[in-house]
């Protein structure tokens, strides 16, 4: 049984209840994070909490939690739920109102909810043990504030489902100018002629923590060239390698897009090099 946190108390997840007038439920009016933890060690705790705080600020939710408060919550979830491969889900909604009215209510306390769920073991940097993934593509029809890690994920859910129904693991998204934005629940990297390339951050993408760690690790290592810039649909179609990245997947190679092989259809050498660097450094973040 999994132990969850809701508004100050720890309880079995089945006992955690919120009001239907919670604005997270009614409007998707909230911010969330997923922090990965392996054998009791978190990856990227500080940047995840920094992103949570900037998301709360961006949507005007005032929550007086320090980084230490978040650390205490995460460590307690790990202690309660076993130190396996966990995704620590942290969620803050604007709180419970007495009516359904769009404007921010005054003087309501935010709802803080957290639980942990099992994630796949971290990928091993080994071509024969990692599972290659398939992706579909779609025009990105989400909103223009994708830099906010909002709990309102219907746009993402619909895009994910679109690929899922086609037998894909993810859906790669392109804006009206046929530029790669991200995927429904991941950031995207391509590799061409040995260069690792990922779209520049703007309001069309979530600033992923896995993405941030990969870029930092690569720049410190300084052996593989890396570029943050616009990536066109043609570049994705002609890439040597394509990866999706997220906290629960780390770096996952895509070997097929819309039924066509990526590069020669096998897992690439640059994936191997970068996942090796990431695996070695991730607990430093």
- Residue 67 CB, shortest distance to ligand PDD, in Å, is 17
Identify which of residues 172 and 209 has a Cβ nearer to ligand PDD in the complex.
209
- Per CB under 6 A, contacts with ligand PDD among 16-55 are 34
Identify which of residues 111 and 171 has a Cβ nearer to ligand PDD in the complex.
171
Strand partners, 138: 173
Distance CA 142, CA 10 (A): 35
Verify binding: residue 125, ligand PDD, rule CB under 6 A: no
Of 93, 248, 255, 275, the one binding ligand PDD by CB under 6 A: 248
- Residue 153 CB, shortest distance to ligand PDD, in Å, is 7
Q: For residue 229, which phi and psi values (nearest 5 degrees)?
A: -165, 175
Inter-axis angle of helices 209-221 and 45-58, nearest 10: 130
- Per CB under 6 A, contacts with ligand PDD among 159-188 are 182, 185-187
Identify which of residues 97 and 149 has a Cβ nearer to ligand PDD in the complex.
149
Distance CA 103, CA 68 (A): 31
Identify which of residues 30 and 96 has a Cβ nearer to ligand PDD in the complex.
30
- Residue 156 CB, shortest distance to ligand PDD, in Å, is 6
Of 247, 253, 254, 256, the one binding ligand PDD by CB under 6 A: 247
- Residue 193 CB, shortest distance to ligand PDD, in Å, is 25
Of residues 193, 209, 240, 179, the one with CA closest to residue 90: 209
What CA dihedral angle connects 202, 205, 209 and 212, to 10 degrees? -50
Tokens of 14: 């089945």
**H or E element at residue 100:** none
- Residue 185 CB, shortest distance to ligand PDD, in Å, is 4
Active-site residue numbers?
A: 32, 149, 182, 206
DSSP codes of every residue in 44-83: SHHHHHHHHHHHHHHTT------HHHHHHHHHHHHHHH-S
What x-and-dash track marks residues 194-233 binding ligand PDD by CB under 6 A?
------------x-xxxx----------------------
- Residue 33 CB, shortest distance to ligand PDD, in Å, is 8
Verify binding: residue 151, ligand PDD, rule CB under 6 A: no
Of 151, 156, 171, 204, the one binding ligand PDD by CB under 6 A: 156
Identify which of residues 95 and 199 has a Cβ nearer to ligand PDD in the complex.
199
Which residues contact residue 162 at a Cβ distance below 8 angstroms, ignoring those fewer than 6 apart?
Answer: 136, 138, 171
Q: For residue 82, which phi and psi values (nearest 5 degrees)?
A: 85, 145
Identify which of residues 96 and 198 has a Cβ nearer to ligand PDD in the complex.
198
Q: How many residues bind ligand PDD (CB under 6 A)?
A: 15
Distance CA 28, CA 147 (A): 16
3-state secondary structure of 210: helix
Question: Interface residues with ligand PDD (CB under 6 A)?
Answer: 34, 156, 182, 185-187, 206, 208-211, 245-248
């Amino acid at each position: 049984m999994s132990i969850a946190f809701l508004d100050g108390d720890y309880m079995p997840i089945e006992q955690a209840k919120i009001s239907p007038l919670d604005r997270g439920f009614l409007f998707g009016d909230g911010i969330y994070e997923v922090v990965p933890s392996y054998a009791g060690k978190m990856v990227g705790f500080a940047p995840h909490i920094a992103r949570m705080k900037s998301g709360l600020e961006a949507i005007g939710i005032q929550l007086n939690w320090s980084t230490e408060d978040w650390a205490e919550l995460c460590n307690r979830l790990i202690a309660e739920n076993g130190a396996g491969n966990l995704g620590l889900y942290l969620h803050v909604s604007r709180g419970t109102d007495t009516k359904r009215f769009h404007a921010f209510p005054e003087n309501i306390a935010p709802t803080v909810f957290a639980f942990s769920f099992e994630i796949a073991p971290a990928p091993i940097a080994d071509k024969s043990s990692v599972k290659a993934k398939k992706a579909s593509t779609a025009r990105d029809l989400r909103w223009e504030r994708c830099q906010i890690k909002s709990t309102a994920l219907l746009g993402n859910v619909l895009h994910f489902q679109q690929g899922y129904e086609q037998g894909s693991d993810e859906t790669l998204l392109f804006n009206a100018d046929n530029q790669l934005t991200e995927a429904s629940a991941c950031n995207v990297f391509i590799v061409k002629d040995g260069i690792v390339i990922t779209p520049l951050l703007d309001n069309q993408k979530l600033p992923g923590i896995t993405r941030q760690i990969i870029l930092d690790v690569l720049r410190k290592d300084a052996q593989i060239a890396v570029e943050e810039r616009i990536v066109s649909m043609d570049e994705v179609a002609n890439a040597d390698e394509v990866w999706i990245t997220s906290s629960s997947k780390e770096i996952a190679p895509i070997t097929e897009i819309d039924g066509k092989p990526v590069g020669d259809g096998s897992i690439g050498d640059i994936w191997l090099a970068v996942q090796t660097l990431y695996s070695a450094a991730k607990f430093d973040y």
